[in-house]
Every structure is written in C-alpha cells, then in structure tokens.
Amino acid sequence: MKYLKTTILIVLCACQSTQVSIPKEPEIGPLGEQAMISTAHPLATQVGVEVLKNGGNAFDAALAVKFALAVVFPRAGNIGGGGFALYRMNDGTIGSLDFREKAPKAGGRDMYLDDEGNVIDGLSTKGHKAAGVPGSVDGILKLHDKFGSKALAELIQPAINLAYYGFTITENQAMEFNEKREDFIEINGADFFLVKDEGWKNGDTIKFVELAGTLTQIRDRGRDGFYAGIVADQIVKEMQRGGGLITEEDLNAYSARWRDPVTSNYRGHKVISMPPPSSGGIAVLQLLQGAEQYNISEMGHNTAQTIHLLTELERRVYADRATYLGDPDYYDVPVDMLLDPTYNKERFSSISLKKKTDSQDIKEGEVDVIESVETTHFSIVDPDGNAVSLTTTLNSFFGCKVYVRGAGFFLNNEMDDFSSKPGVANQFGLVGGEANAIVPEKRMLSSMTPTIVEKDGKLKMVVGTPGGATIITSVFQAIMNVIDHGMSMQDAVNATRTHSQWLPDRILVEERAFDPAAIKKLEKMGHLIERREAMGRMDCILVREDGKLEGGADYSRGDNYAEGF
C-alpha cells in the first residue's frame, strides 16, 4: 500500500494543538471496528469522531460536523446555505430531511430577466439577489432534535472554539481565498478580512470571530438564534444593503421538510437516495436500473465500452431530469414513472453498444457547462450502526460571495439552480423548464445525491460528493466500482471518473491515469472527449464483508479525511 504522507498543523483551540497525518492515495482507506466518519476536512472529521467516542450517536456527530464545516470549510460548509440529509437507523428505518433553500417571497419567474426577457448575466450567481432563504440551521437542528442524544450546547462548542480561536488553513484553502480575492473585494469591499494583500498561504491561521458569535446565538437560542433576533436582523440589513430579497418574514417561515427517500434495487442491493427537490436520487436509481441490464463487471472498469454505455444512459437520464424534475410541493414530479423498471427498460432500449446516439436526437437544447466542487458531503456510521449521509452547499465557491456583516458567514447563490428561463442553462449547464421555474417559496432543483446502500437487510455503503451536475454520475460510478468491479471503498473513490449529461453532447474525463487507447476508441465511435482535472470530492463508507468499516475519502482530489475507531 502506498501512503505518501503529508502533515498539517491543526489548532483545535488556543490551548491545544495536534499533528494529523493525511495519507495520499491509499488503496484501502482507514478501517474502523465500530464507527467511521469521512468529511471534507480533517478538523471536522476529528470533531465528529470525538462526539462518537464520547457516546454520541450519528445524528449528534452530524450536527457537530455540520457546524465545524461551517467554520473550517467556509467555501461550502455553511450556515448560510442548505442541503439534504439521508439516514438509515440500525433497525433498517430510513428517512430523509430536506433543508434546501427556498425562493424568497418577493422572488418570481422573471426576476433574473431584463426587459427583453433575456437572462441578466451573473444576477443569479453573484451578489445579494442570488441568495435563497437558508435552510441549513433549521435542518440540522431538526435532525438533531428528532434523533440526537446529546445537548446542542455540547455539540456546537467545538465549532465555536474553532471559529473563535482559529485554525490553520491548508494549501487548497489558501489558494481558494486568493482566487476569490477580486470577488470578495467587489462584493464585500477592499477592507474585507478575507482579502490579504500579501495573499494567504498554507499554514496561516484564520479566525472567524463574528461567526463564533452567531454560533453562540444558535447554541443559546436554538433556531431563533438564527431565524430571529440579532442574526436575522443582520441578514435582513445585509439584504437591504445590496438589493437582496430575503426578509424577516422569509426567515421566520423557513421550515425543513421530512421526505420519504426513493429506493430501487441493484444486483441484489437496495439503494436508498434523496427524493425531489433533489434530482440526484431519481437519476442515480434510473442509471443503476439501466446499468443492471448489462454485465458491467465483464465489460470492465473505464473501458471504452463501459464509458460508452454509461454515457448513453446518462444522456437519457439528464434529459428526463430537465423535463420532469422540480420541487414536489409545486410541481407534480412523476417519481413512480421515472423509477418504474418497465419505463426505464423502454427508455434505454434505443442504446446500441456499437453506436453513439446524438444528444440532439434525444432532446434539443444548447448549453455550456462549468463543473465545480463547492458543495460538501459527509458520511457517518456510529457504533450502533446508524448511518447519516449528508450533502450541503452554498452552490458556488463561497456562495453569492456576500458575507453577512456582523454575523460572519457567506450566503448561498442557490437561486441559480432554478431555471431562470426555459432552455437557458445555469452555471452547471443544466437546463430546465416549467418544473423548475422560480415561484415564491419554492425550492430549487438540486443534483445533490446523499445515498445509502444496503444488502440483505444490512447497511453496506454510505456515499456522496459535491460536484454540481457531476454529483449524480460520481455516486453512480462509486456504487458500481464497489458492486461490479469489487473495489475497496478507497479504490472506488480514487478511481478516475467520467461524466456526461445529455447536453452538451460530450464526455468529460478526468486526466489522472486514463487509458489513451480507451479514449481513442470512444473518439472513433464519434464521442467528443474533454479532459478535466478532477471531478467530485467523495466521502464514503463501506461495511466490508469482515464487518469492518472502511472510510473512502478523496485525499488526492481535496483535503478530505476519514477516520474510524
């Protein structure tokens, strides 16, 4: 096993500092006898592991991790955004919580269009008007209220300490702060504290003192510490400063919703995933239903034939996504039809293993796409076998870039996940229509795909990742990597990924160690190949046949870190 070790200095609080080794590219991830946590940042993982070691359950750990990520991973960890949590209790009970942001009451179908009906560039992605009503705080508190065993005050304190006393940033984080310098200045002014003249560097210490204050409000007042009182006032004032739409009434009215997960079978496994307003669950289950009709294992991992098949499945599923999926509270999403094996058999029946189908022949549209990894996912299995799979986001890097003055956190730009105009692509190149049009208080469609797999009535895998439109295909591949290709969890995460999404008509392929012969064959079949540096940052857990838990974290694509005991 090749472990290239790097070390980073971690400051958990002013009086305590620890050295952590981060393995690079292991073939088998860390193993745990009882519990495992995998998150986007070593500090957040450690906060969660401590909770579990002190007798907390997966939901206690989820709350502690969620707030810790809001501090140590501010580009995506958040209290100003939203997300989805999927859980499976050790007795097999499953459920999910939707804490997706909502359109403000003052929002509406044409809010990003000019007088001629054209989409105004950047309005749904940057600045105050791009922000949806945040759901993260209501969501994580609801999840904890229902299933947690430890007091909120105890669980949120590590995040408060990290924010107040500071922590050292990684090289990736220094780069991200520096990259966004111009945006930070444009939106928050040249004196914004994340703008540093000499630039940020690996090992710099950063403190979020105002955020510590906001987290303290939440600690002491629960939901009202965010959606009412001083923090709500600060959000509303910030909106007024920049022409944003979120009001006190919007904040008061926000409520996360319990939803029944979607499920389907894959080669003797039960796959459980997030229902609408995420498109991710339905899309992954459709893809798996399609893949099950082929002998993927025999076709081989990342061979030209397998990539061709995945692409053909994906273009059909993303076309369905664009047409049928939206917030089920506002649009009648045909969930049963999309998950009906007979429908999918028919849907995929036009696939030929020899010939490419042009995306234009499936459905028309002209789109461009940018992939990014500004969301974050974490997976937790506790010593009792309860599992939480949670994906949360600000949408873009640091959301709409608006930092709520006095309150110390970034707001999301999730409004861009709506379809601003039918057929006009959002930043991920995703198109939509009526199903995902903007309506006051509606939730925007998502690709986030927190997923859990069980086999023979027992927990087998907890899976998820950021990556915009590529989330769905990364989760799809990770599941097949384990089930069809027999990979360890870490190998399944390390493995090179491909992605296709109906439009544009092309296959994205990660550069890392990809077989040039396979690419040539695909090009010969007429596929357009585009190379990408990295797609997704997965945090997964596998229950191995020997009963041990294996963490699979994207060490080589990000700062992701799994730890168990």
The reply to whether 466 sits near ligand DON by the rule CB under 6 A is: yes
Q: Which of 36, 274, 373, 439 binds ligand DON (CB under 6 A)?
A: 373
CB-wise, 164 or 410, nearer to ligand DON?
410
Copy the structure tokens of residue 215.
């987290």
Stretch that binds ligand DON, among 7-15, 362-370, 464-472, 556-564 (CB under 6 A): 464-472
CB-wise, 225 or 464, nearer to ligand DON?
464
Instruction: Indicate if the alpha-carbon torsion angle 512, 516, 519, 523 is positive or negative.
Output: positive
Q: Which of 124, 188, 447, 494 binds ligand DON (CB under 6 A)?
A: 447
CB-wise, 168 or 501, nearer to ligand DON?
501
Stretch that binds ligand DON, among 283-291, 309-317, 366-374, 526-534 (CB under 6 A): 366-374
Q: What is the DSSP letter of 85?
A: E
How many other C-beta atoms lie within 10 A of the C-beta of residue 378? Answer: 35
**Cα 275 from Cα 240, distance rounded (Å):** 34
Stretch that binds ligand DON, among 122-130, 216-224, 254-262, 465-473 (CB under 6 A): 465-473
Least separation in angstroms between CB 325 and ligand DON = 11
The reply to whether 395 sits near ligand DON by the rule CB under 6 A is: yes
Q: Is the peptide bond before 277 cis (omega within 30 degrees of 0)?
A: yes
- Residue of 173, 150, 156 lying closest to 214 (CA atoms): 156
CB-wise, 168 or 474, nearer to ligand DON?
474
Site residue total, ligand DON (CB under 6 A): 15
User: Dihedrals φ, ψ of 143, to 5°?
Assistant: -60, -45
Q: Which of 101, 374, 484, 559 binds ligand DON (CB under 6 A)?
A: 374
Half-sphere exposure (Cβ direction) of 94: Cα atoms closer than 13 Å? 22
The reply to whether 451 sits near ligand DON by the rule CB under 6 A is: no
Least separation in angstroms between CB 337 and ligand DON = 22
CB-wise, 395 or 490, nearer to ligand DON?
395
**Cα 449 from Cα 276, distance rounded (Å):** 10
Strand ranges in 220-299 using DSSP code E only, listed in sequence order: 257-259, 262-266, 269-273
Query: What pairs with residue 318 in β-bridges?
Result: none
Strand ranges in 50-142 using DSSP code E only, listed in sequence order: 82-88, 94-99
**Selected catalytic residue, list 247, 375, 391, 451:** 375
CB-based contacts of 421: which residues, under 8 Å, 6+ apart?
Answer: 112, 113, 117, 118, 119
In sequence order, what DSSP letters do the residues of 186-198 get, joined into one string?
HHH-TT-TT--TT
Copy the structure tokens of residue 186.
């444009």
Stretch that binds ligand DON, among 135-143, 399-407, 445-453, 497-505 (CB under 6 A): 445-453
Residues numbered 399 to 428 that lie near ligand DON (CB under 6 A) are 414, 417
**Cα 329 from Cα 26, distance rounded (Å):** 44
Least separation in angstroms between CB 278 and ligand DON = 7
Residue 375 annotated among the catalytic residues of the structure: yes
Q: Which of 375, 386, 436, 481 binds ligand DON (CB under 6 A)?
A: 375
Crossing angle of the two packed helices 152-165 and 42-53, in degrees rounded to 10: 150
Stretch that binds ligand DON, among 89-97, 199-207, 307-315, 467-475 (CB under 6 A): 467-475
Active site residues: 375
Residues that bind ligand DON (CB under 6 A): 372-375, 393, 395, 414, 417, 446-448, 466-468, 471
